[in-house]
Structure 1
């Protein structure tokens, strides 16, 4: 990759990306991320039915925790596996693990077997999501990077919508095992697309050893935060969060000093804006942590039906997914910088407005305003996300370092989502049992975090269209 490649060629179009030459590649990249994203919420929708048949209610929350931890571990190994195995083999490995995990879940006679299946699913899913970002750089021309990044990132939002709907249908039919079989079949279909359309990238030996210290520190941090979301609220939650934050800080310190870790070497270079790109991605992902509680607020505060409350919860994801498709068309460096900086501010404005609109017995107009404000908050995420991804893709030279930079976008996203979900649970419980106050407090706290993210966004935007720092 040359030093001038970071400037996006304005001639790339959606028609070219979705045309005959690149559509199969785009389908693989987006389809893998959609499998990972939709599976999270699909399983959540199925859990009441699953527990009713095989028991294990005491492990209810662990189905998400086990999947998340496995996804984080495998996402940190994407660049290494891609270098060793090449694009086709790496994808087949990821899809194979995901399909195997799905079948294990489908055949689970008890909850411990389901958790084992979820762990295998998570290993495959983390690889799929990371490969979806890492292979944008290797499989597509640079003029299509922004649109491909928007398409891949939008799958997280689409998955948040599709997952609960599909899971609800299978749950209603009492056919939860069939849902996991369908996931395995979809994985096999994508395998066929991979073999037929994915470019055969070169294979080689990684230039660095396995970063065990980084893996252990980051996995431990995410594990601690995940535990914080499932233990009883109080001292145990606070301790788990503090341990998670401490291990996260230790991870960053180790990465900065060692120079051989999960993040690209250029991340901590003084002239590089890459660390600010990752921090901005984390801030935007943090806003998504509010989603889990929005259906609850809709049902309990607004007296909405479960279906309508679910649609309210999907408004943020919808705003994110739709906005990305339009934001990706922006090609001027100055305009892209403005979108990146505006993103956290729009998220903050949307969350603040939604929080201030919380009231008992809301009118139809207020409920409509809830949808609009959440859509606006999601739009803030979508404004700069594709351009942040492109900035990461073009931040470093060399295929292995480039894969690290791209895959780390997904890793940062997953980790920030875990931290935000745990923090959201703590904030909501502070004002419990008054749900109106809980909703207001949650939204205002997360809006404040988004406002602070403007600083990081400004630093990240400064590197758009400029030469990446030398390694």
Structure 2
């Protein structure tokens, strides 16, 4: 098994039929990520044109809630439709929602379009990991996960640049039209690269939509999203605490339900729970990115474009960390994953301690370095965690469910990270105190992630760990 895991290469992934498959998978995530930053950069122009300023924050809130909700139904959708029809449905819905945004005469239609976009985006994000598991050989899972996740870095660069360019010339609607055309172009590849049979099995087909778990999780996500836009601290804290309580309820319901979001293996005696918790810690840490441009403008006195690129340094580090780490040998993977939260925390401490009003060019350069290190810490572990989750079981249904849940865990953690960041910034304001609270506060949370990341790879090598998953999955629940 070790030879099989180590024999995959970038040339293998980017050649032959694999190239078409990874283009569709990575393209779906790139659309999701680009749309997030594209919309943020051109939204002021759109609001000035169609009105609805009081609903400004809800453009993002609606998108987030819809994304989390649909990410939980990826496994049932794959079981019913298979990868080909599932992807065609998701791309079709994303194109329809994007076109609604393009032609919206008012904010009500814009919000409806964003809800459709978010629902389709949640499917695209979840399908990517699930179909890596189904359509590609195991030796390519780590590199495919790295390339797919790296599309968030691409979206961070392309989204603001494209959105700003269209907005600059008063053509914000054409930004959505262009995104619609790109979506249709990628969708046209689906019938050629994804076969009808991949992923179809009787066990997956019997998966039902986890209605109760879905309602609880959607409510929790909505509470966090609302908390992030509140101005009163007690209300923000109350909403986040209530949302955390609902997540506990969600886990309890999901464990006992016959229709589930998280695979049953997460409650067995294997490392899957620690994999998901480590993913959650890293995804939560990534949400400091939301406020990097904010403090770049307020403390570094950067122009908006420069502040935007300062924020992109975290995504750049994430992408670079993934590309380098994906080639790590199996014996190094355990150390890489274990120490990833420490690297993330170190980057946040470096950038956080140097935050001050009127920072010099050198100090701002050190901020950028710290944020890049933060992203690199996330990226160095991410592909190995994704590959490990996919290796949870030799049963295709269980393995596919574990892969699909990666995106759900990421989106939930991201929602909580955004809410926590909002609380800290509101507590400290736009001053140096607010920046210290945000970056150093997140560093303190993330460094605790070593307690979970150290439990992912107990056997010492990726191959041994994979074998352990297959043995442990059948043990009695904790």
Q: TM-score, normalised by structure 2?
A: 0.94
CA 1:14–1:40: 2 relative to 1, 3 Å: same
Partner of 1:132: 128
- The one-character-per-residue Cα deviations of 1:392-444 (angstroms, maximum 9, x if unpaired) are 000023332222111111111111111101110110111125x1111111111
Q: Conserved in 2, the CA contact under 8 Å of 1:233 and 1:426?
A: no
Find 1:81's aligned residue among 67, 77, 85: 77
For 1:396, what is the secondary structure of its paired residue? Answer: coil
Partner of 1:393: 390
Shift of 1:235: 2.5
* Pairing 1:97-116 to 2, within 5 Å after superposition: 97-116=93-112
* 1:420 maps onto 2:433 in alignment: no
Question: Matched residues in 2 for 1:409 and 1:223: separation?
Answer: 20
Question: Matched residues in 2 for 1:260 and 1:100: separation?
Answer: 29
For 1:109, what is the secondary structure of its paired residue? Answer: coil
Partner of 2:248: 249
CA 1:202–1:153: 2 relative to 1, 3 Å: closer
Partner of 1:430: 427
For 1:460, what is the secondary structure of its paired residue? Answer: coil
Q: Conserved in 1, the CA contact under 8 Å of 2:101 and 2:113?
A: yes
Q: Conserved in 2, the CA contact under 8 Å of 1:83 and 1:202?
A: yes
- The one-character-per-residue Cα deviations of 1:344-396 (angstroms, maximum 9, x if unpaired) are 00000000110101122222211111111110110000111000000000002
Q: Conserved in 2, the CA contact under 8 Å of 1:347 and 1:450?
A: yes
RMSD between aligned alpha carbons?
1.5
CA 1:305–1:202: 2 relative to 1, 3 Å: closer
Question: Matched residues in 2 for 1:141 and 1:208: separation?
Answer: 24
Q: Conserved in 1, the CA contact under 8 Å of 2:134 and 2:199?
A: no
Q: Conserved in 2, the CA contact under 8 Å of 1:259 and 1:265?
A: no
Partner of 1:152: 148
Find 1:314's aligned residue among 308, 312, 330: 312
For 1:22, what is the secondary structure of its paired residue? Answer: helix
Partner of 1:376: 373
Shift of 1:53: 0.5
- The one-character-per-residue Cα deviations of 1:28-76 (angstroms, maximum 9, x if unpaired) are 1100001011111110111100100000000001011111111111110
Partner of 1:268: 267
Find 1:35's aligned residue among 31, 44, 60: 31
Question: Matched residues in 1 for 2:379 and 2:444: separation?
Answer: 19
Question: Matched residues in 2 for 1:318 and 1:252: separation?
Answer: 34
Shift of 1:178: 0.8
Shift of 1:259: 5.8
Partner of 1:164: 160
Q: Conserved in 2, the CA contact under 8 Å of 1:298 and 1:312?
A: yes
Can you give the 5+ residue segments of structure 1 that lack an aligned partner in the other structure? none
* 1:64 maps onto 2:67 in alignment: no
Partner of 2:328: 330
Partner of 1:194: 190
Question: Matched residues in 1 for 2:442 and 2:369: separation?
Answer: 18
Partner of 1:207: 206
Q: How many residues align?
A: 464
Shift of 1:191: 1.1
Partner of 1:340: 337
Question: Matched residues in 2 for 1:209 and 1:22: separation?
Answer: 30
For 1:231, what is the secondary structure of its paired residue? Answer: coil
Shift of 1:236: 2.0
Question: Matched residues in 1 for 2:415 and 2:333: separation?
Answer: 28
Find 2:292's aligned residue among 288, 291, 294: 294
Find 2:448's aligned residue among 429, 444, 452: 452
Find 1:121's aligned residue among 113, 117, 121: 117
Question: Matched residues in 1 for 2:90 and 2:321: separation?
Answer: 29
Question: Matched residues in 2 for 1:294 and 1:34: separation?
Answer: 21
Question: Matched residues in 2 for 1:378 and 1:203: separation?
Answer: 36
Q: Conserved in 2, the CA contact under 8 Å of 1:8 and 1:331?
A: no
Partner of 1:285: 283
Question: Matched residues in 1 for 2:276 and 2:209: separation?
Answer: 22
Q: Conserved in 1, the CA contact under 8 Å of 2:229 and 2:422?
A: no
Q: Conserved in 1, the CA contact under 8 Å of 2:296 and 2:307?
A: yes
For 2:170, what is the secondary structure of its paired residue? Answer: coil
Shift of 1:202: 5.0
Q: TM-score, normalised by structure 1?
A: 0.96
Question: Matched residues in 2 for 1:230 and 1:364: separation?
Answer: 32
Question: Matched residues in 2 for 1:415 and 1:370: separation?
Answer: 27
Partner of 2:172: 176
Question: Matched residues in 1 for 2:42 and 2:232: separation?
Answer: 25
Find 1:359's aligned residue among 351, 356, 361: 356
* 1:409 maps onto 2:412 in alignment: no
Shift of 1:260: 4.1
